[in-house]
Amino acid sequence: MKAGSETSQPFRILYVENDDRRIKSFQRAFDAQIAVVDVPDFWSAIAYLDDNEPVDLILYNDSLNTRGFMNAFKAKQSRTKIPIILLTDQESIDLTAAPYHGYVIDAFPYNYSEAAFQIRLNYLIQKRDYQRNGRVVYKPISVRMPIGKRAFDIGLSLLILLMISPLLLIVAALVKLDSPGPIFYGSRRVGMGFRIFNMYKFRTMSTGADKLLAGMASQNMYNKVAEEKPADELCEQCKLANLPCQRPLFLDQKQICETLYHREQQAKAMFSKFKEDPRVTRLGKVLRNTSIDELPQLYNILRGDMSFVGNRPLPLYEAEKLTNIGYARRFAAPAGLTGLWQVTKRGGAKVSDLERIQLDVLYAKRFSLRTDMLILLRTLKAVWQKENV
Protein backbone atom coordinates (compact mmCIF):
# COMPACT_ATOMS: atom_id res chain seq x y z
CA MET A 1 0.00 0.00 0.00
CA LYS A 2 1.07 3.60 -0.47
CA ALA A 3 2.07 5.85 2.35
CA GLY A 4 0.85 9.37 2.79
CA SER A 5 4.41 10.63 2.60
CA GLU A 6 7.82 9.23 1.65
CA THR A 7 9.05 9.78 5.21
CA SER A 8 5.88 8.52 6.94
CA GLN A 9 5.00 4.90 7.63
CA PRO A 10 1.61 3.77 6.32
CA PHE A 11 -1.26 4.29 8.73
CA ARG A 12 -2.26 0.71 9.55
CA ILE A 13 -5.94 -0.15 10.01
CA LEU A 14 -7.32 -3.47 11.21
CA TYR A 15 -10.75 -3.73 9.57
CA VAL A 16 -13.03 -6.29 11.25
CA GLU A 17 -15.56 -6.99 8.50
CA ASN A 18 -16.99 -10.09 6.78
CA ASP A 19 -18.39 -8.29 3.73
CA ASP A 20 -15.82 -8.23 0.92
CA ARG A 21 -17.68 -5.45 -0.92
CA ARG A 22 -17.38 -3.09 2.04
CA ILE A 23 -13.70 -3.91 2.45
CA LYS A 24 -12.93 -3.26 -1.21
CA SER A 25 -14.96 -0.04 -1.20
CA PHE A 26 -13.07 1.20 1.85
CA GLN A 27 -9.71 0.33 0.31
CA ARG A 28 -10.57 2.09 -2.95
CA ALA A 29 -11.61 5.24 -1.11
CA PHE A 30 -8.57 5.55 1.19
CA ASP A 31 -5.86 3.38 -0.40
CA ALA A 32 -3.45 6.30 -0.93
CA GLN A 33 -3.16 6.97 2.81
CA ILE A 34 -3.46 3.64 4.62
CA ALA A 35 -2.56 -0.02 4.80
CA VAL A 36 -5.58 -2.23 5.53
CA VAL A 37 -5.58 -5.65 7.16
CA ASP A 38 -9.03 -7.27 7.13
CA VAL A 39 -10.26 -10.08 9.38
CA PRO A 40 -13.77 -11.62 9.41
CA ASP A 41 -14.57 -11.79 13.14
CA PHE A 42 -13.52 -10.62 16.58
CA TRP A 43 -11.51 -13.72 17.51
CA SER A 44 -9.42 -13.30 14.35
CA ALA A 45 -8.96 -9.64 15.31
CA ILE A 46 -7.72 -10.52 18.80
CA ALA A 47 -5.36 -13.15 17.37
CA TYR A 48 -3.97 -10.66 14.85
CA LEU A 49 -3.41 -8.00 17.53
CA ASP A 50 -1.51 -10.50 19.70
CA ASP A 51 0.66 -12.00 16.96
CA ASN A 52 1.56 -9.08 14.69
CA GLU A 53 2.91 -5.53 14.69
CA PRO A 54 0.65 -2.93 16.36
CA VAL A 55 -1.96 -1.20 14.22
CA ASP A 56 -2.90 2.49 14.39
CA LEU A 57 -6.69 2.07 14.27
CA ILE A 58 -9.34 -0.64 14.54
CA LEU A 59 -12.41 -0.24 12.32
CA TYR A 60 -15.11 -2.57 13.65
CA ASN A 61 -18.44 -3.73 12.21
CA ASP A 62 -20.88 -3.41 15.11
CA SER A 63 -22.89 -6.44 13.94
CA LEU A 64 -19.97 -8.78 14.71
CA ASN A 65 -20.51 -9.04 18.49
CA THR A 66 -18.95 -5.75 19.60
CA ARG A 67 -19.40 -6.49 23.31
CA GLY A 68 -17.60 -9.82 23.01
CA PHE A 69 -14.75 -8.13 21.17
CA MET A 70 -14.53 -5.30 23.71
CA ASN A 71 -14.34 -7.74 26.63
CA ALA A 72 -11.54 -9.70 24.97
CA PHE A 73 -9.82 -6.51 23.78
CA LYS A 74 -9.69 -4.98 27.29
CA ALA A 75 -8.23 -8.16 28.82
CA LYS A 76 -4.72 -7.27 27.65
CA GLN A 77 -3.36 -3.83 28.50
CA SER A 78 -1.00 -3.60 25.50
CA ARG A 79 -4.00 -3.50 23.14
CA THR A 80 -5.95 -0.77 24.88
CA LYS A 81 -4.03 2.20 23.46
CA ILE A 82 -5.33 1.42 19.96
CA PRO A 83 -8.33 3.64 19.09
CA ILE A 84 -11.50 1.99 17.76
CA ILE A 85 -14.10 3.35 15.33
CA LEU A 86 -17.44 1.53 15.04
CA LEU A 87 -19.47 1.11 11.89
CA THR A 88 -23.04 0.73 13.10
CA ASP A 89 -26.71 1.01 12.19
CA GLN A 90 -27.60 2.48 15.60
CA GLU A 91 -28.99 5.99 15.16
CA SER A 92 -27.59 7.12 18.51
CA ILE A 93 -24.87 5.43 20.50
CA ASP A 94 -23.43 6.59 23.83
CA LEU A 95 -19.68 6.20 23.55
CA THR A 96 -19.25 7.33 27.16
CA ALA A 97 -21.04 4.20 28.41
CA ALA A 98 -19.66 0.68 28.91
CA PRO A 99 -18.15 -1.11 27.08
CA TYR A 100 -17.15 1.72 24.73
CA HIS A 101 -15.89 4.40 27.13
CA GLY A 102 -12.16 5.01 26.88
CA TYR A 103 -11.71 2.74 23.85
CA VAL A 104 -14.17 3.63 21.06
CA ILE A 105 -13.44 7.14 19.83
CA ASP A 106 -16.16 7.48 17.20
CA ALA A 107 -19.07 5.79 15.41
CA PHE A 108 -20.07 6.08 11.75
CA PRO A 109 -23.12 4.66 9.95
CA TYR A 110 -22.55 1.86 7.43
CA ASN A 111 -23.37 4.29 4.63
CA TYR A 112 -20.91 6.85 6.00
CA SER A 113 -19.86 9.92 4.06
CA GLU A 114 -16.39 9.36 2.64
CA ALA A 115 -15.69 13.09 3.04
CA ALA A 116 -16.59 12.97 6.75
CA PHE A 117 -14.50 9.84 7.32
CA GLN A 118 -11.63 11.46 5.38
CA ILE A 119 -11.59 14.38 7.83
CA ARG A 120 -11.46 11.98 10.78
CA LEU A 121 -8.73 9.87 9.15
CA ASN A 122 -6.62 12.92 8.28
CA TYR A 123 -6.64 14.03 11.89
CA LEU A 124 -5.71 10.59 13.26
CA ILE A 125 -2.79 10.32 10.83
CA GLN A 126 -1.51 13.78 11.77
CA LYS A 127 -1.92 13.03 15.46
CA ARG A 128 0.09 9.80 15.13
CA ASP A 129 2.88 11.58 13.26
CA TYR A 130 2.97 14.39 15.80
CA GLN A 131 3.12 11.96 18.74
CA ARG A 132 5.97 10.03 17.12
CA ASN A 133 8.03 12.86 15.67
CA GLY A 134 6.93 16.07 17.40
CA ARG A 135 5.81 17.32 14.00
CA VAL A 136 3.32 16.42 11.28
CA VAL A 137 4.95 14.22 8.64
CA TYR A 138 1.81 13.28 6.73
CA LYS A 139 0.47 16.04 4.52
CA PRO A 140 -3.22 15.40 3.80
CA ILE A 141 -5.07 16.54 0.73
CA SER A 142 -6.04 20.04 1.81
CA VAL A 143 -9.57 21.37 1.87
CA ARG A 144 -9.34 24.26 -0.55
CA MET A 145 -10.29 27.77 0.46
CA PRO A 146 -12.30 29.72 -2.17
CA ILE A 147 -10.01 31.79 -4.41
CA GLY A 148 -11.82 35.07 -3.68
CA LYS A 149 -11.62 34.56 0.08
CA ARG A 150 -7.93 33.64 -0.09
CA ALA A 151 -7.12 36.62 -2.31
CA PHE A 152 -8.89 38.94 0.14
CA ASP A 153 -6.97 37.46 3.08
CA ILE A 154 -3.60 37.81 1.35
CA GLY A 155 -4.22 41.38 0.21
CA LEU A 156 -5.62 42.70 3.49
CA SER A 157 -3.19 40.89 5.80
CA LEU A 158 -0.19 42.01 3.74
CA LEU A 159 -1.46 45.61 3.70
CA ILE A 160 -2.04 45.66 7.47
CA LEU A 161 1.31 44.01 8.22
CA LEU A 162 3.12 46.64 6.14
CA MET A 163 1.21 49.47 7.83
CA ILE A 164 1.84 48.24 11.38
CA SER A 165 5.37 46.88 10.86
CA PRO A 166 6.92 49.72 12.96
CA LEU A 167 4.55 48.83 15.82
CA LEU A 168 5.40 45.14 15.52
CA LEU A 169 9.14 45.88 15.67
CA ILE A 170 8.69 48.09 18.73
CA VAL A 171 6.55 45.48 20.53
CA ALA A 172 9.02 42.72 19.67
CA ALA A 173 11.88 44.76 21.16
CA LEU A 174 9.85 45.54 24.30
CA VAL A 175 8.91 41.88 24.82
CA LYS A 176 12.59 40.93 24.60
CA LEU A 177 13.62 43.67 27.04
CA ASP A 178 10.74 43.10 29.47
CA SER A 179 11.59 39.50 30.40
CA PRO A 180 13.88 36.68 29.22
CA GLY A 181 12.44 34.27 26.72
CA PRO A 182 11.25 34.10 23.10
CA ILE A 183 9.40 37.01 21.48
CA PHE A 184 6.60 34.88 20.07
CA TYR A 185 4.52 32.08 21.54
CA GLY A 186 3.21 29.35 19.26
CA SER A 187 0.13 27.39 20.33
CA ARG A 188 -0.66 24.18 18.46
CA ARG A 189 -4.12 24.53 16.92
CA VAL A 190 -6.37 22.59 14.55
CA GLY A 191 -7.78 24.43 11.58
CA MET A 192 -9.39 23.74 8.22
CA GLY A 193 -9.41 20.06 7.28
CA PHE A 194 -8.04 19.16 10.73
CA ARG A 195 -4.66 20.60 9.72
CA ILE A 196 -2.41 21.25 12.72
CA PHE A 197 -0.47 24.53 12.80
CA ASN A 198 1.21 26.95 15.21
CA MET A 199 -0.98 29.97 16.00
CA TYR A 200 1.36 32.83 16.91
CA LYS A 201 1.05 35.52 19.56
CA PHE A 202 3.44 37.89 21.26
CA ARG A 203 4.62 36.22 24.46
CA THR A 204 2.80 37.68 27.47
CA MET A 205 3.95 35.26 30.16
CA SER A 206 7.25 34.72 31.91
CA THR A 207 9.02 31.51 31.02
CA GLY A 208 8.73 28.91 33.78
CA ALA A 209 6.05 30.91 35.58
CA ASP A 210 3.74 27.89 35.88
CA LYS A 211 6.02 26.69 38.68
CA LEU A 212 5.64 30.07 40.35
CA LEU A 213 1.85 29.81 40.15
CA ALA A 214 1.84 26.33 41.65
CA GLY A 215 4.09 27.48 44.49
CA MET A 216 1.96 30.52 45.31
CA ALA A 217 -1.39 28.66 45.21
CA SER A 218 -0.91 27.34 48.74
CA GLN A 219 -0.65 30.94 50.01
CA ASN A 220 -4.14 31.80 48.75
CA MET A 221 -6.70 31.53 51.54
CA TYR A 222 -9.53 31.18 48.99
CA ASN A 223 -7.94 28.35 47.06
CA LYS A 224 -7.79 24.67 47.73
CA VAL A 225 -4.37 23.28 48.49
CA ALA A 226 -2.83 22.30 45.20
CA GLU A 227 -2.89 18.57 44.71
CA GLU A 228 0.37 16.92 43.91
CA LYS A 229 0.35 15.50 40.40
CA PRO A 230 0.82 11.72 40.36
CA ALA A 231 4.17 10.58 39.04
CA ASP A 232 2.46 8.35 36.45
CA GLU A 233 -0.01 11.15 35.55
CA LEU A 234 -3.06 8.90 36.04
CA CYS A 235 -6.19 9.88 37.93
CA GLU A 236 -7.41 7.87 40.91
CA GLN A 237 -10.05 5.95 38.90
CA CYS A 238 -7.54 4.61 36.37
CA LYS A 239 -5.02 3.74 39.08
CA LEU A 240 -7.61 1.81 41.10
CA ALA A 241 -8.77 -0.09 38.00
CA ASN A 242 -5.15 -0.74 37.00
CA LEU A 243 -5.87 0.58 33.51
CA PRO A 244 -4.14 3.05 31.21
CA CYS A 245 -5.66 6.51 30.98
CA GLN A 246 -9.34 6.22 30.07
CA ARG A 247 -9.78 9.94 29.33
CA PRO A 248 -6.71 10.90 27.30
CA LEU A 249 -6.26 14.37 25.82
CA PHE A 250 -3.62 15.39 23.29
CA LEU A 251 -2.28 18.79 24.36
CA ASP A 252 0.68 20.32 22.50
CA GLN A 253 3.65 18.00 22.94
CA LYS A 254 2.19 15.22 25.11
CA GLN A 255 -0.80 13.12 26.08
CA ILE A 256 -2.42 14.08 29.37
CA CYS A 257 -5.33 12.90 31.51
CA GLU A 258 -8.52 14.92 30.97
CA THR A 259 -9.52 14.54 34.65
CA LEU A 260 -6.18 15.86 35.90
CA TYR A 261 -6.12 18.62 33.28
CA HIS A 262 -9.52 20.04 34.28
CA ARG A 263 -8.57 19.77 37.95
CA GLU A 264 -5.43 21.83 37.34
CA GLN A 265 -7.29 24.36 35.20
CA GLN A 266 -9.93 24.80 37.89
CA ALA A 267 -7.26 25.42 40.51
CA LYS A 268 -5.56 27.99 38.27
CA ALA A 269 -8.86 29.71 37.50
CA MET A 270 -9.73 29.95 41.20
CA PHE A 271 -6.32 31.37 41.95
CA SER A 272 -6.50 33.95 39.18
CA LYS A 273 -9.96 35.01 40.30
CA PHE A 274 -8.63 36.36 43.58
CA LYS A 275 -5.04 37.21 42.76
CA GLU A 276 -3.31 38.60 39.70
CA ASP A 277 -1.79 35.84 37.63
CA PRO A 278 1.96 35.95 38.36
CA ARG A 279 2.72 34.33 35.00
CA VAL A 280 1.72 37.44 33.04
CA THR A 281 4.51 39.98 32.57
CA ARG A 282 4.09 43.73 33.10
CA LEU A 283 4.12 44.32 29.37
CA GLY A 284 1.94 41.23 28.84
CA LYS A 285 -0.94 42.84 30.74
CA VAL A 286 -0.88 45.81 28.38
CA LEU A 287 -0.62 43.61 25.30
CA ARG A 288 -3.57 41.48 26.41
CA ASN A 289 -5.79 44.41 27.38
CA THR A 290 -5.21 46.03 23.97
CA SER A 291 -5.24 42.69 22.03
CA ILE A 292 -1.86 43.66 20.53
CA ASP A 293 -0.60 40.18 21.48
CA GLU A 294 -2.93 38.78 18.77
CA LEU A 295 -1.39 40.76 15.91
CA PRO A 296 1.10 38.03 14.86
CA GLN A 297 -1.91 36.02 13.75
CA LEU A 298 -1.93 38.24 10.68
CA TYR A 299 1.12 36.20 9.65
CA ASN A 300 -0.97 33.03 10.08
CA ILE A 301 -3.55 34.57 7.76
CA LEU A 302 -0.92 35.56 5.19
CA ARG A 303 0.52 32.05 5.03
CA GLY A 304 -2.94 30.41 4.82
CA ASP A 305 -3.24 28.83 8.27
CA MET A 306 -6.18 31.10 9.07
CA SER A 307 -8.58 33.57 7.51
CA PHE A 308 -9.98 36.87 8.77
CA VAL A 309 -13.38 35.19 9.13
CA GLY A 310 -13.92 31.55 10.03
CA ASN A 311 -14.29 29.14 12.91
CA ARG A 312 -11.91 29.75 15.80
CA PRO A 313 -8.95 27.30 15.66
CA LEU A 314 -9.08 24.84 18.55
CA PRO A 315 -6.39 23.29 20.75
CA LEU A 316 -5.76 19.66 19.83
CA TYR A 317 -7.48 18.22 22.89
CA GLU A 318 -10.69 20.15 22.10
CA ALA A 319 -10.59 19.24 18.40
CA GLU A 320 -10.42 15.54 19.29
CA LYS A 321 -13.86 15.80 20.87
CA LEU A 322 -15.43 17.29 17.71
CA THR A 323 -14.50 14.68 15.13
CA ASN A 324 -17.76 12.74 15.04
CA ILE A 325 -19.85 12.87 11.89
CA GLY A 326 -22.14 15.65 13.19
CA TYR A 327 -19.50 18.12 14.41
CA ALA A 328 -16.58 17.43 12.03
CA ARG A 329 -18.25 19.65 9.41
CA ARG A 330 -17.01 22.75 11.32
CA PHE A 331 -13.48 21.88 10.13
CA ALA A 332 -14.56 22.17 6.49
CA ALA A 333 -14.38 25.95 6.99
CA PRO A 334 -11.20 27.98 7.47
CA ALA A 335 -9.96 28.90 10.93
CA GLY A 336 -10.57 32.59 11.60
CA LEU A 337 -9.84 35.59 13.79
CA THR A 338 -13.56 36.25 14.09
CA GLY A 339 -16.62 34.27 13.11
CA LEU A 340 -20.35 33.78 13.20
CA TRP A 341 -20.61 32.87 16.88
CA GLN A 342 -18.66 35.97 17.96
CA VAL A 343 -21.25 38.27 16.38
CA THR A 344 -24.30 36.22 17.43
CA LYS A 345 -24.32 37.44 21.05
CA ARG A 346 -27.29 39.63 21.82
CA GLY A 347 -27.36 41.97 24.78
CA GLY A 348 -24.16 40.50 26.16
CA ALA A 349 -25.66 36.99 26.41
CA LYS A 350 -23.14 34.20 26.20
CA VAL A 351 -23.29 31.53 23.50
CA SER A 352 -23.23 27.99 24.95
CA ASP A 353 -20.68 25.43 23.75
CA LEU A 354 -23.34 23.49 21.85
CA GLU A 355 -24.70 26.66 20.21
CA ARG A 356 -21.17 27.65 19.27
CA ILE A 357 -20.55 24.30 17.57
CA GLN A 358 -23.87 24.54 15.74
CA LEU A 359 -22.99 28.04 14.54
CA ASP A 360 -19.57 26.79 13.40
CA VAL A 361 -21.25 24.01 11.39
CA LEU A 362 -23.73 26.51 9.94
CA TYR A 363 -20.89 28.80 8.86
CA ALA A 364 -19.05 25.88 7.24
CA LYS A 365 -22.15 25.08 5.17
CA ARG A 366 -22.89 28.63 4.02
CA PHE A 367 -19.72 30.74 4.11
CA SER A 368 -19.05 33.09 1.22
CA LEU A 369 -17.21 36.36 0.62
CA ARG A 370 -20.47 38.28 1.13
CA THR A 371 -21.13 36.49 4.43
CA ASP A 372 -17.56 37.25 5.54
CA MET A 373 -17.99 40.96 4.81
CA LEU A 374 -21.16 41.09 6.91
CA ILE A 375 -19.44 39.28 9.81
CA LEU A 376 -16.44 41.63 9.60
CA LEU A 377 -18.70 44.69 9.70
CA ARG A 378 -20.62 43.30 12.67
CA THR A 379 -17.32 42.47 14.42
CA LEU A 380 -16.03 46.03 13.96
CA LYS A 381 -19.35 47.37 15.25
CA ALA A 382 -19.21 45.06 18.29
CA VAL A 383 -15.64 46.15 19.08
CA TRP A 384 -16.59 49.83 18.72
CA GLN A 385 -19.59 49.44 21.04
CA LYS A 386 -17.85 47.11 23.50
CA GLU A 387 -17.71 49.65 26.29
CA ASN A 388 -21.47 50.28 25.99
CA VAL A 389 -22.61 46.63 26.08
| Range 235-253 average pLDDT | 58
Whether the predicted pLDDT of 376 surpasses 60: yes
pLDDT at residue number 64: 94
Distance of CA 344 to CAs 72, 126, 335, 350, Å?
Answer: 48, 32, 17, 9
Between residues 382 and 312, the one the model is more confident about: 312
At residue 187 the predicted structure's pLDDT band, cuts being 50, 70 and 90, is confident
DSSP 155-187: HHHHHHHHHHHHHHHHHHHHHHHHSSS-SEEEE
> Would the CA dihedral through 144, 148, 149, 150 be positive or negative?
positive
- The length of the chain in residues reads 389
Contact partners, residue 171, CB within 8 Å, separation at least 6: 202, 287, 292, 295
Question: How much of the chain, in percent, has pLDDT values that exceed 70?
Answer: 70
CA distance 112 to 280: 47
At residue 253 the predicted structure's pLDDT band, cuts being 50, 70 and 90, is very low
Return the CATH fold of 11-133: Rossmann fold (3.40.50)
pLDDT at residue number 8: 59
Residue range 143-163, pLDDT digits in tens = 678 899 999 999 999 999 999
pLDDT at residue number 175: 93
Question: How much of the chain, in percent, has pLDDT values that exceed 90?
Answer: 30
At residue 230 the predicted structure's pLDDT band, cuts being 50, 70 and 90, is very low
pLDDT at residue number 25: 92
| Range 199-214 average pLDDT | 75
Whether the predicted pLDDT of 381 surpasses 90: no
Residue 56 near residue 11 (C-beta atoms within 8 A): yes
At residue 248 the predicted structure's pLDDT band, cuts being 50, 70 and 90, is low
CA distance 334 to 328: 13
Distance of CA 55 to CAs 100, 128, 192, 201, Å?
Answer: 19, 11, 27, 37
CA distance 201 to 66: 46
Whether the predicted pLDDT of 224 surpasses 90: no
Mean pLDDT of the chain: 78
Long-range contact pairs involving 164-168 (C-beta distance under 8 Å, separation at least 24): 164/295, 167/292, 167/295, 168/295, 168/296
Residue 186 near residue 175 (C-beta atoms within 8 A): no
Whether the predicted pLDDT of 40 surpasses 90: yes
Distance of CA 237 to CAs 135, 232, 233, 242, 256, Å?
Answer: 32, 13, 12, 9, 15
Residue 107's identity, in one-letter code, is: A
Nearest to 61 by CA among 104, 110, 101: 110
Nearest to 375 by CA among 155, 383, 151, 289: 383
Between residues 195 and 277, the one the model is more confident about: 195
Q: Where are the domains of the chain?
A: 11-133, 183-204+293-388, 209-274
Residue range 313-360, pLDDT digits in tens = 988 777 766 655 566 778 888 999 988 887 776 445 566 667 778 888
Between residues 287 and 280, the one the model is more confident about: 287
Q: 368: part of which helix (H) or strand (E)? A: none
pLDDT at residue number 3: 38
At residue 274 the predicted structure's pLDDT band, cuts being 50, 70 and 90, is very low
At residue 214 the predicted structure's pLDDT band, cuts being 50, 70 and 90, is low
Phi, psi of 179 (to 5 degrees): -160, 150
Between residues 277 and 292, the one the model is more confident about: 292
Between residues 264 and 47, the one the model is more confident about: 47
Whether the predicted pLDDT of 240 surpasses 80: no
Phi, psi of 290 (to 5 degrees): -100, -5
Residue 26 near residue 36 (C-beta atoms within 8 A): yes
CA distance 301 to 265: 30
Q: 40-44, 136-140, 164-168, 281-285: which has the minimum mean pLDDT?
A: 136-140
The highest-confidence range among 6-15, 71-80, 170-179, by mean pLDDT, is: 170-179
Residue range 104-118, pLDDT digits in tens = 888 889 988 887 788
